[in-house]
């Protein structure tokens, strides 16, 4: 179920359905608290470690929203029960379900303390690039293959890193929630600033801070060395084995083999078959699933340069990815951008992946709605964005 369908389903749930969801959520929380899994979860320790990584962000975003008192019980139930039960029962790097649940819990109608209206109200401005605007028909745009292969060669030339010794990831995130009214003048475009510290035994500590409002041009994300822009909202600790630090080393570097691995782990074949059946043809589900799988690796792992290069090579083989040109990302960094249009579940979206043209580093992703409306806000509108601010090993 995609993000918008998930929101509508829980927004229209009956009282009995909500109570049932709350009961499922309570059981899911108990499972997580005990460090165990439901009976239908694969017993393979390696798959369990990967599954824990997948559920990591969804569970944390749920807790953050609940701590702020801005998640309904039904949406909380959806997140809590979906993460350990639906996601953990199969080997996954990242599926549409996790991507959907994360966004539902990220509350972005951020009223400043005391109810003071923010000067930066509404939704983030759309980023612009040299070759593509939000209204550009991608059928008329050249594939991004050549640029992606260039990014691969630049990434491969970077110094080696070893995430098995532990690492620190920093990023900023924002998402449009259906519970937020983006037309409210008190609604500030305030991203979350997240730091994830992972030790060699796979234990992790995640600290979320409220960031500072974006500048009028939709940028203003601080660099990785900048102190957090606001107070800590949540600190969560995870036990040894929660993340699999050996996963990057275990993935193949040959692009064909790596693609097959990502397809299998991400259940891309099933997603592609379902999408084709629903649309009467190929609607780019393979590319969508592969982009999700690639970005999920960056979410929780410190990736060595040769793996980063191989991931760009995998995406270079997808004709649906088109070159958007050059520009600057939400942190003001020079970037090259590639875009992908998708119409999953009847929702028309455009995804923008940004990378450093000099190093091949993945800088982040914007997701836009290009038709219809969301939360009362008409398209085109930014649904969510992630800015990768830094990654370093111990």
Tokens standing for 250?
């275990």
Closest to 189 in 3D by CA, of 123, 119, 240, 134: 123
The three-state secondary structure class of 338 is strand
Residue 118 CB coordination number (10 Å): 16
Residue 384 CB coordination number (10 Å): 21
Q: Is 163 exposed, middle or buried (0-12, 13-18, 19+ CB in 10 A)?
A: buried
State if pTM tops 0.85.
no
At 387 the pLDDT is 96
User: Cis link prior to 380 (omega < 30° from 0)?
Assistant: yes
d(CA 28, CA 85): 8
From residue 42, how far is each of 46, 79, 112, 269, 349 by CA, in Å? 9, 20, 44, 20, 33
Q: Is 278 exposed, middle or buried (0-12, 13-18, 19+ CB in 10 A)?
A: middle
Residue 44 CB coordination number (10 Å): 11
From residue 285, how far is each of 177, 265, 340 by CA, in Å? 24, 15, 11
At 135 the pLDDT is 85
From residue 205, how far is each of 43, 102, 300, 326 by CA, in Å? 25, 18, 12, 35
Each residue's pLDDT tens digit in the chain (394 positions)? 333 433 444 444 455 544 554 554 454 444 444 433 333 333 344 444 444 444 444 444 444 444 444 443 333 333 333 332 222 222 222 222 233 223 322 333 232 222 222 222 478 999 999 999 888 889 989 999 999 999 999 999 999 999 999 999 999 999 885 334 455 545 568 888 999 999 999 999 999 998 888 888 899 888 766 666 667 888 999 999 999 999 999 999 999 999 999 988 765 654 444 444 344 334 467 899 999 999 999 999 999 999 999 999 999 999 999 999 999 999 999 999 999 999 877 789 999 999 999 999 999 999 999 998 887 788 999 999 999 999 999 9
From residue 357, how far is each of 192, 199, 388 by CA, in Å? 26, 30, 15
At 78 the pLDDT is 34
Q: Which residue has the tokens 């924002």?
A: 174
């Amino acid at each position: 179920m995609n993000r918008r369908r998930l929101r509508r389903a829980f927004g229209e749930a009956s009282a009995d359905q909500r109570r049932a969801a709350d009961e499922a959520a309570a059981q899911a929380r108990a499972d997580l608290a005990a460090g165990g899994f439901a009976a239908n979860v694969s017993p393979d320790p390696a798959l369990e470690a990967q599954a824990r990584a997948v559920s990591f962000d969804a569970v944390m975003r749920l807790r953050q929203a609940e701590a702020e008192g801005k998640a309904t019980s039904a949406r909380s139930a959806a997140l809590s029960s979906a993460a350990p039960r639906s996601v953990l029962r199969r080997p996954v790097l990242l599926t549409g379900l996790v991507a959907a649940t994360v966004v539902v819990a990220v509350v972005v109608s951020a009223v400043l303390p005391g109810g003071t209206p923010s000067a930066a109200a509404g939704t983030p401005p759309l980023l612009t690039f040299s070759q593509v605007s939000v209204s550009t028909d991608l059928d008329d745009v050249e594939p991004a293959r050549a640029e992606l292969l260039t990014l691969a060669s630049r990434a491969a030339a970077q110094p080696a890193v070893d995430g098995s010794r532990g690492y620190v990831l920093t990023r900023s995130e924002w998402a449009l929630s259906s519970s937020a009214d983006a037309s409210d003048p008190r609604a500030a475009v305030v991203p979350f600033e997240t730091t994830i510290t992972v030790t060699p035994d796979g234990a992790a500590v995640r600290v979320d801070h409220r960031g500072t409002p974006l500048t009028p041009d939709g940028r203003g994300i601080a660099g990785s060395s900048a102190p957090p822009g606001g107070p800590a909202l949540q600190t969560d600790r995870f036990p040894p084995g929660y993340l699999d630090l050996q996963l990057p080393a275990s993935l193949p570097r040959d692009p064909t083999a790596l693609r097959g691995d990502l397809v299998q782990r991400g259940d891309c074949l099933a997603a592609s078959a379902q999408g084709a059946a629903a649309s009467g043809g190929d609607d780019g589900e393979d590319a969508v699933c592969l982009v999700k799988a690639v970005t999920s690796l960056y979410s929780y792992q410190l990736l060595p340069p040769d793996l980063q290069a191989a991931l760009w090579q995998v995406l270079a083989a997808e004709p649906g990815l088109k070159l958007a040109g050059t520009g600057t990302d939400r942190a003001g960094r020079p970037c090259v951008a590639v875009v992908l249009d998708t119409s999953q579940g009847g929702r028309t979206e455009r995804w923008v992946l940004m990378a450093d043209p000099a190093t091949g580093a993945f800088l982040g992703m914007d997701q836009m709605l290009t038709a219809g409306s969301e939360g009362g806000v008409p398209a085109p509108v930014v649904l969510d964005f992630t800015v990768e601010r830094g990654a370093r090993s111990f």
